Each structure stands twice: as structure tokens, then as C-alpha cells.
């Protein structure tokens, strides 16, 4: 259990740093932030409040999808979301707005963020404790649709959020706001990288195990 908790916390930290690299690249908000960000501009409500509301909606969708299969311990996903928020603030203090100069530097910074977010998700979910609401919803989708593996469900969910954000922005703000190339890259690449990173980590574990023997 101690090992699982350590992996979980480390995974959340990696995810928090990845989130901040994406933010610092200034190439658009992350897919999971897109709808709350646009909604905050439309409704003139703090984005943090809407972010929490969206996480609650993700939990509610899990209950609707899983019904009797839903484990009520997963309601703590909302609590862990607040803890993750503190990790994001801590990572922001460490990075202090760091970004590589030039546009290509911004792209590279964004790519680092994408890789770290993917790695963080793999690590914290490997601990098999409590998922954050977005990943909990993706897990529920993968359970109810066996033909849809987790990484594809992740890509579908992120892409859907980006599309919803773009539509809301066009209808209510008269143009696309907040969603840029970094947002699109994150929506397409994070889910795709998850099985790649899982395979690399398994390979590293096998090498370490053989050397130990």
C-alpha cells in the first residue's frame, strides 16, 4: 500500500508539472480546461468554480454509466481533485512561468507538457487507488464499451471537449478563444501516448527484474 500511495502521489506531481508546461507554452488551454474556460468568459463566473462543476458532472456521468457497478468510494475523486489543484499551484511556483523562447520553443514546451501529462496519468492510475474525475469517466466508458480501450476513450473524450468548447466560443463569443494548436495536439496525443508509455515502463521493469536476478 505504501508503494501504491507513493506511485499515486508521484504520478499526480508529474501530471501537475505537465499541466503547467502546457499552460506556460501559451498555445491554448488543455482539453479538460477548455469548456470551463470558455464558459467562464460567457457566464462571467470564476473558471475554478466551473472546473469543479465539470468534475462533479464527470462523476455523475460515471454513476449513470456504471449504475450498480459504481463504487461509492469513487465520490472521493472530487476531494482528490482539490488536492491535485494544490499540486498544480506548487508546480507553478517551481516552474515560475518557464517556457523555451521562440514559437518552436513554445511547441517544444507544449510537447513536454503532453508527455508529462500522459506519464502522470499512467503512473497514478497504475497505483489503482482513486482516479481523477476525467479519467474515472474514461474508465467507465471503457468498461461499458469493451471495444473501446482506455486510450481511445481518452482521445474521444478530449476531442469532444475541444469541439464543445469551440462551438460555445463561436456561438457566444463570436470567434475561437482559448483553443489553439496546443489544445488540439494535447487532445490527439495524450491518449495515443498512454499505451506507448505503458509499454516503455513495462520494458524497463522487465530489464530491471532480469538484472536483479
Spatial separation of the C-alpha atoms in residues 17 and 88, rounded to whole Å: 7
Angle, in degrees to the nearest 10, between helices 47-66 and 77-95: 140
- Tens of pLDDT along 109-142? 999 999 999 999 999 998 888 899 999 999 999 9
Assigned C-alpha cell, 154: 481518452
149: left (phi over 0), alpha (psi -120 to 50) or beta: beta
CB of 99 within 8 A of CB of 23? no
**DSSP, res 177:** -
- Tens of pLDDT along 3-18? 899 999 999 999 999 9
**Residue 21 burial by Cβ neighbours in a 10 Å radius (0-12, 13-18, 19+):** buried
Assigned C-alpha cell, 71: 463504487
- Tens of pLDDT along 58-95? 999 999 999 988 988 888 998 888 888 888 889 989 99
CB of 61 within 8 A of CB of 137? yes
Angle, in degrees to the nearest 10, between helices 133-144 and 150-173: 120
Residue 57 has pLDDT above 80, yes or no: yes
Residue 29 has pLDDT above 90, yes or no: no
**Residue 205 burial by Cβ neighbours in a 10 Å radius (0-12, 13-18, 19+):** exposed
Whole-number mean pLDDT of the chain? 90
How many residues comprise the chain? 213
Assigned C-alpha cell, 11: 504520478
**DSSP, res 99:** -
The rounded radius of gyration (Å) of the Cα atoms in the chain is: 17
Q: What is the pTM of this model?
A: 0.88
Spatial separation of the C-alpha atoms in residues 149 and 143, rounded to whole Å: 9
Spatial separation of the C-alpha atoms in residues 180 and 162, rounded to whole Å: 10
Amino acid at each position: 500500500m505504501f508503494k501504491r500511495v507513493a506511485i499515486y502521489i508521484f504520478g499526480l506531481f508529474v501530471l501537475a508539472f505537465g499541466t503547467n508546461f502546457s499552460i506556460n507554452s501559451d498555445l491554448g488551454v488543455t482539453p479538460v480546461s477548455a469548456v470551463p474556460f470558455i464558459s467562464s468568459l460567457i457566464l462571467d463566473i470564476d473558471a475554478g468554480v466551473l472546473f469543479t462543476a465539470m468534475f462533479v458532472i464527470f462523476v455523475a456521468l460515471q454513476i449513470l454509466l456504471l449504475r450498480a457497478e459504481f463504487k461509492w468510494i469513487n465520490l472521493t475523486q472530487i476531494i482528490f481533485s482539490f488536492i491535485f489543484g494544490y499540486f498544480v499551484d506548487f508546480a507553478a511556483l517551481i516552474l515560475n512561468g518557464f517556457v523555451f523562447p521562440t514559437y518552436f520553443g513554445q511547441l517544444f514546451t507544449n510537447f513536454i507538457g503532453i508527455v508529462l501529462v500522459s506519464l502522470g496519468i499512467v503512473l497514478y492510475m497504475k497505483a489503482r487507488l482513486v482516479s481523477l474525475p476525467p479519467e474515472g469517466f474514461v474508465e467507465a466508458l471503457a468498461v461499458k464499451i469493451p471495444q473501446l480501450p482506455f486510450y481511445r476513450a481518452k482521445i474521444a473524450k478530449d476531442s469532444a471537449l475541444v469541439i464543445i468548447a469551440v462551438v460555445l466560443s463561436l456561438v457566444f463569443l463570436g470567434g475561437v478563444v482559448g483553443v489553439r494548436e496546443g489544445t488540439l495536439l494535447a487532445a490527439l496525443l495524450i491518449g495515443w501516448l498512454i499505451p506507448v508509455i505503458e509499454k516503455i515502463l513495462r520494458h524497463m521493469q522487465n530489464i530491471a527484474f532480469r538484472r536483479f536476478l
